[in-house]
Amino acid sequence: MKLFINARFLTQPISGVQRYGIECSLQIKKLYPETIFLTPHNILHTDVAKALDAKVVGTRTGHKWEQLDLPSFLRKNGNAPLLNLANTAPLFYGNNYITIHDLAFFHHPDWNSKAFSTWYNFLIPRLARRSKYIFTVSETVKAEIVNNYRVSASKIGITYNGISGDWLQWQGGTAKEKIVLSVGTFSIRKNQQMLVKAFLQSEVRKTHRLVLIGDKNKVFAESGINENDLQQNNITVLQKVSGDELAAIYARAEIVVSLSEYEGFGIPMLEGLFFGCKILCSDISVYRELFSDVAAFCPPKDVNSIVGALEQLTVNSHFPDPNVVKAMLAKYNYAASAQTIVEKVSSLQNAGNK
């Protein structure tokens, strides 16, 4: 089987989608070295591109590259299977396999620009129906795809997120500090403004430091919080944190919090568990599916409930059971997901060639 991977994610800043694309690709490269990774020329992650031996094709970038240059190259190379790991794919290519990470653009189009939401709401359902097979990162999102796009459940497989390969050798031993940590894009969807409000109203701010790691500060202006008052209230905002720096903060953090209103998976929750943190999640279906045995939950829009949950976790000396976490990490990992992907694509291609 000749397999190509759409590696446009190498040209994009890293969020959960790009992390999945990178980590699954590195694992697929180990399993199936013949895989060819195709990318536009404007690569951001040159070290990963080198590790994948990525091939630059075409002259365009962005969606134009994906919809025009990429399928043109593939048609000249036998219409081989194309694996698309980061939501989008060339619409008019007949041998697509795709990963759909979530349907936030469908449920909440107001969370993104009108152009983005319009494009995704046009593109994704058509890709879902036309693709040979769909992968997604949770049973929750699988059910959403089935219910909203009328795609058969038999056409969808689960390939969970996992822990970055760079971190898997971490041995522990770092002392925990009184840190409450939230990791993710600063946006209304991620709901950091409610975490900040709850922290400021709680007794926790007298004993702990709230650390927010993300890529922009707009959320504070949108929620009426004065950024100038953050530091004096034991709140630290960090941007452009390296992987090593982020791992060091996780290792020291006592509690990791995500109050997102919607997620497809929630990688920071898994990362927090990997680094031995207590976990506080918004009470949404995907978090109940994935983390019900190891997390505390609260309504994401109820400040009093968030205050109570934070205060309870700080006085609770018990961290998640390491054996439960170990079993969870064995289930949610990129090596297993890559194996699932390669086996499924290979079996479908072989069946189609008979």
Q: pLDDT by residue (tens digit) across 214-264?
A: 876 555 555 556 677 777 889 998 988 999 999 999 999 999 999 999 999
CA 276 to chain centre: 20
Name the amino acid, one letter, at 171: Q
252/167 Cα distance (integer angstroms): 15
| Assigned superfamily of 4-162+333-353 | Glycogen Phosphorylase B; (3.40.50.2000)
Cβ atoms 193, 222 nearer than 8 A: yes
DSSP state of 175: P
How big is the chain, counted in residues? 354
Separation of alpha carbons 303 and 107, rounded Å: 24
pLDDT digits (tens, 9 = 90+) for 293-319: 999 999 999 999 999 999 999 999 999
Percentage of residues in the chain with pLDDT exceeding 90? 85
Give yes or no for a contact between 46 and 22, defined as CB atoms under 8 angstroms apart.
Answer: no
* Full 3-state SS string of 46-58: HHHHHHHCCEECC
The DSSP secondary-structure symbol of 69 reads I
d(CA 282, CA 198): 13
Mean pLDDT, range 74-79, rounded to an integer? 96
**Domain boundaries, given as residue ranges, for the chain:** 4-162+333-353, 165-331
Identical topology for domains 4-162+333-353 and 165-331: yes
Third-level CATH fold of 165-331: Rossmann fold (3.40.50)
Q: Which amino acid is at 108?
A: H
Helix (H) or strand (E) holding 295: strand 295-298
